[in-house]
């Protein structure tokens, strides 16, 4: 079985630096008897030109392909449309990071229904996304699959094994924030301003999407207990950032309200490293951190709620330690890359065995 894996960011050259869950199981498929050809397009600019270019390159590629697997539809929309019309014969399996598009316009709904018929399997992180997508009326529920994507425990175990610090060795204990996407830095920083004895380390990129994180954080450089480091986009930073999380007391995931699982990667990283979590109460998360006793949820924009949670874990470190232990056990049992990759391989074999155009319901 041969799979072409389409990805927008990381390439095979990045594999030695990054945890492999960023590759959505593709790097593990060979161990399940499936060969993978990586196709990466991180280009910016016109999405229309990108989808035309990618369609041409994939259609003219002579390498054997049984299934097209993609971490996003961004850039392969034309191939999906061709598949929906019976003009591309390879099954398409993609990750959908939000609920599918909806519209009250009948013509638009008809076009969306035609487009989504070009996707054989649509993987989602959240049951909420599946339910919202099914209610849209433009995609069949039987094409939607909730998947337990999770962290690369082998990667994090190497980080843990290489760590030389112990609780007694550490000069200081701190809270860590290492996300860059749609983070609510003002709420987080204002909470720590109310707790001058608690240290917060923030690691983020200068810009992500339309957010200028560096500009936002420049307002808080005078806070003595808040340390800000702007990182570049080099994939080699992953190991450094993981070690910083490992040496912390707790992972803080303070995010803006969005209609997707913003912060999920940071959540899984903390659990893999046995760290307690304080997180914005994102209803799209597949895990309820309080129900699982791995962390504390705080409402969006709730400075006082963040202060209370930080203060509680700072004063109850044995609770934070137990939360970290619980989180690690949960990802070992249910949410990790090895389990997901085995599941993915079975899905690929199932669809790869079926040739030809899609029927309305297959």
**Same-domain pairing of 81 and 129:** yes
Among the ranges given (165-169, 244-248, 263-267), the one the predictor scored with the smallest mean pLDDT: 165-169
Q: pLDDT tens across 275-321, in order? A: 999 999 999 999 999 999 999 999 999 999 999 999 999 999 999 99
Pairing mode of beta strands 250-253, 92-95 = unpaired
Total-model pTM: 0.92
**Same-domain pairing of 181 and 196:** yes
**Partners of residue 187 on adjacent β-strands:** none
**Same-domain pairing of 137 and 162:** no
Does the residue 219 lie in any domain? yes
Q: pLDDT tens across 106-142, in order? A: 999 999 999 999 999 999 999 999 999 999 999 999 9
Alpha helix locations (H) across 121-217? 127-135, 153-161, 185-193, 213-217
**Same-domain pairing of 146 and 180:** no
Mean pLDDT to the nearest integer, 141-153? 96
* Dihedral over Cα of 278, 281, 287, 293: its sign: positive
Cα–Cα distance for residue pair 193/191, rounded to 1 Å? 5
Cα–Cα distance for residue pair 207/213, rounded to 1 Å? 5
**Same-domain pairing of 120 and 176:** no
Does the residue 318 lie in any domain? yes
**Same-domain pairing of 142 and 167:** no
Cα–Cα distance for residue pair 275/328, rounded to 1 Å? 8
- Domain hosting residue 124, numbered range: 2-150+337-352
Which residues have a Cβ under 8 Å from the Cβ of 254 and sit 6 or more positions away? Answer: 177, 183, 184, 185, 187, 188, 278, 279, 280, 298, 306
Does the residue 359 lie in any domain? no
CA angle 22, 181, 53 (to 5 degrees): 60
- Please state the domain count of the chain: 2
CB atoms under 10 Å from CB of 353, counted, come to: 11
CA angle 142, 282, 258 (to 5 degrees): 80
Q: Is the pLDDT of residue 362 over 50?
A: no
**Same-domain pairing of 241 and 346:** no
Which residues have a Cβ under 8 Å from the Cβ of 271 and sit 6 or more positions away? Answer: 151, 277, 294, 324, 327, 328, 330, 331, 335
Mean pLDDT to the nearest integer, 243-252? 97
Q: pLDDT tens across 175-214, in order? A: 999 999 999 999 999 999 999 999 999 999 998 878 899 9
């Amino acid at each position: 079985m041969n799979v072409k894996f389409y990805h927008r960011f990381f390439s095979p050259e990045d594999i030695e630096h990054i945890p492999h869950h960023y590759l959505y199981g593709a790097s593990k498929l060979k161990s399940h008897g499936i060969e993978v050809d990586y196709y990466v397009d991180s280009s910016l600019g016109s999405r229309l030109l990108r989808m035309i270019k990618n369609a041409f390159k994939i259609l003219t590629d002579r390498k054997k392909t049984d299934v097209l697997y993609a971490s996003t539809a961004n850039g392969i929309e034309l191939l999906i449309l061709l598949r929906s019309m019976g003009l591309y014969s390879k099954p398409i399996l993609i990750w959908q990071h939000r609920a599918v598009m909806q519209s009250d316009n009948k013509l638009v709904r008809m076009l969306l229904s035609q487009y989504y018929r070009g996707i054989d399997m649509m993987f989602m992180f959240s049951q909420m996304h599946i339910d919202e997508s099914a209610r849209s009326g433009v995609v069949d529920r039987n094409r939607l699959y909730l998947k337990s994507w999770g962290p690369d425990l082998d990667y994090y175990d190497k980080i843990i094994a290489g760590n030389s610090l112990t609780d007694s060795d550490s000069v200081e204990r701190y809270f860590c924030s290492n996300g860059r996407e749609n983070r609510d830095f003002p709420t987080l920083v204002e909470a720590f301003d109310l707790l001058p004895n608690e240290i917060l380390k923030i690691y983020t990129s200068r810009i992500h999407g339309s957010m200028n994180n560096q500009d936002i954080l420049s307002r808080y450089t005078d806070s003595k207990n808040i340390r800000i480091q702007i990182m570049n986009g080099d994939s080699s930073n992953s190991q450094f950032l993981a070690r910083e999380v490992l040496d912390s007391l707790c992972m803080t995931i303070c995010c803006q309200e969005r209609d997707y699982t913003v912060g999920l990667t940071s959540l899984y990283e903390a659990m893999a490293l046995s760290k307690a979590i304080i997180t914005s109460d994102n209803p799209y998360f597949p895990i309820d951190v309080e129900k699982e006793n791995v962390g504390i949820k705080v409402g969006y924009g709730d400075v006082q709620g963040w202060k209370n949670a930080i203060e509680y874990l700072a004063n109850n470190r044995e609770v934070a330690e137990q939360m970290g232990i619980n989180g690690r056990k949960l990802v070992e049992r249910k949410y990790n890359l090895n389990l997901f990759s085995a599941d993915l391989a079975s899905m690929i074999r199932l669809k790869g065995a079926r040739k030809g155009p899609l029927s309305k319901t297959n």
